[in-house]
Structure 1
Protein backbone atom coordinates (compact mmCIF):
# COMPACT_ATOMS: atom_id res chain seq x y z
CA UNK A 1 0.00 0.00 0.00
CA UNK A 2 1.33 3.41 -0.88
CA UNK A 3 1.58 6.23 1.60
CA UNK A 4 -1.32 8.06 -0.03
CA UNK A 5 -3.53 4.98 0.18
CA UNK A 6 -2.70 4.55 3.86
CA UNK A 7 -3.57 8.19 4.56
CA UNK A 8 -6.84 7.82 2.67
CA UNK A 9 -7.83 4.73 4.64
CA UNK A 10 -6.88 6.38 7.92
CA UNK A 11 -8.90 9.46 7.08
CA UNK A 12 -11.92 7.36 6.15
CA UNK A 13 -11.72 5.50 9.47
CA UNK A 14 -11.43 8.72 11.46
CA UNK A 15 -14.42 10.19 9.64
CA UNK A 16 -16.48 7.10 10.48
CA UNK A 17 -15.43 7.24 14.14
CA UNK A 18 -16.18 10.94 14.34
CA UNK A 19 -19.64 10.41 12.85
CA UNK A 20 -20.35 7.67 15.39
CA UNK A 21 -19.24 9.87 18.28
CA UNK A 22 -21.35 12.76 16.99
CA UNK A 23 -24.40 10.49 16.73
CA UNK A 24 -23.88 9.26 20.27
CA UNK A 25 -23.52 12.82 21.55
CA UNK A 26 -26.72 13.86 19.79
CA UNK A 27 -28.55 10.86 21.21
CA UNK A 28 -27.33 11.72 24.71
CA UNK A 29 -28.29 15.36 24.29
CA UNK A 30 -31.78 14.45 23.07
CA UNK A 31 -32.52 11.74 25.63
CA UNK A 32 -30.28 12.13 28.69
CA UNK A 33 -32.80 10.50 31.02
CA UNK A 34 -33.35 7.41 28.88
CA UNK A 35 -29.80 6.47 27.99
CA UNK A 36 -26.90 5.49 30.19
CA UNK A 37 -23.85 7.18 28.68
CA UNK A 38 -21.22 4.78 27.40
CA UNK A 39 -17.60 5.57 28.16
CA UNK A 40 -16.20 7.54 25.25
CA UNK A 41 -13.38 5.98 23.25
CA UNK A 42 -9.92 7.31 23.97
CA UNK A 43 -9.39 10.55 22.06
CA UNK A 44 -7.00 10.15 19.15
CA UNK A 45 -3.76 12.10 18.83
CA UNK A 46 -5.43 14.67 16.54
CA UNK A 47 -8.74 15.07 18.36
CA UNK A 48 -9.65 18.59 19.45
CA UNK A 49 -11.41 17.83 22.73
Structure 2
Protein backbone atom coordinates (compact mmCIF):
# COMPACT_ATOMS: atom_id res chain seq x y z
CA UNK A 1 0.00 0.00 0.00
CA UNK A 2 1.30 3.44 -0.80
CA UNK A 3 1.98 6.02 1.90
CA UNK A 4 -0.85 8.36 0.86
CA UNK A 5 -3.42 5.57 1.14
CA UNK A 6 -2.10 4.49 4.53
CA UNK A 7 -2.15 8.12 5.68
CA UNK A 8 -5.80 8.49 4.70
CA UNK A 9 -6.79 5.21 6.36
CA UNK A 10 -5.23 6.07 9.71
CA UNK A 11 -6.23 9.73 9.64
CA UNK A 12 -2.80 11.34 9.89
CA UNK A 13 -2.67 14.93 8.67
CA UNK A 14 0.98 14.65 7.65
CA UNK A 15 2.64 11.94 5.53
CA UNK A 16 5.74 12.38 7.70
CA UNK A 17 3.78 11.04 10.68
CA UNK A 18 2.68 7.98 8.74
CA UNK A 19 6.22 7.41 7.43
CA UNK A 20 7.55 7.20 11.00
CA UNK A 21 5.36 4.14 11.57
CA UNK A 22 6.39 2.39 8.33
CA UNK A 23 7.96 -0.88 9.49
CA UNK A 24 8.19 -2.64 6.13
CA UNK A 25 11.55 -4.29 5.51
CA UNK A 26 13.94 -2.67 3.04
CA UNK A 27 13.29 -5.53 0.59
CA UNK A 28 9.57 -4.65 0.38
CA UNK A 29 10.33 -0.98 -0.17
CA UNK A 30 12.84 -1.86 -2.92
CA UNK A 31 10.26 -4.10 -4.61
CA UNK A 32 7.78 -1.22 -4.59
CA UNK A 33 10.31 1.12 -6.18
CA UNK A 34 11.18 -1.48 -8.80
CA UNK A 35 7.50 -1.66 -9.88
CA UNK A 36 7.38 2.06 -10.71
CA UNK A 37 7.35 2.76 -14.43
CA UNK A 38 8.12 6.18 -15.77
CA UNK A 39 7.23 7.48 -19.20
CA UNK A 40 10.02 7.28 -21.76
CA UNK A 41 11.88 10.57 -22.20
CA UNK A 42 10.83 12.62 -25.20
CA UNK A 43 13.45 12.91 -27.95
CA UNK A 44 15.13 16.30 -28.25
Q: TM-score range by the shorter chain?
A: 0.3 to 0.5
If the length of structure 1 is used for normalisation, what is the TM-score?
A: 0.30
TM-score (norm 2): 0.33
Higher helix share: 1
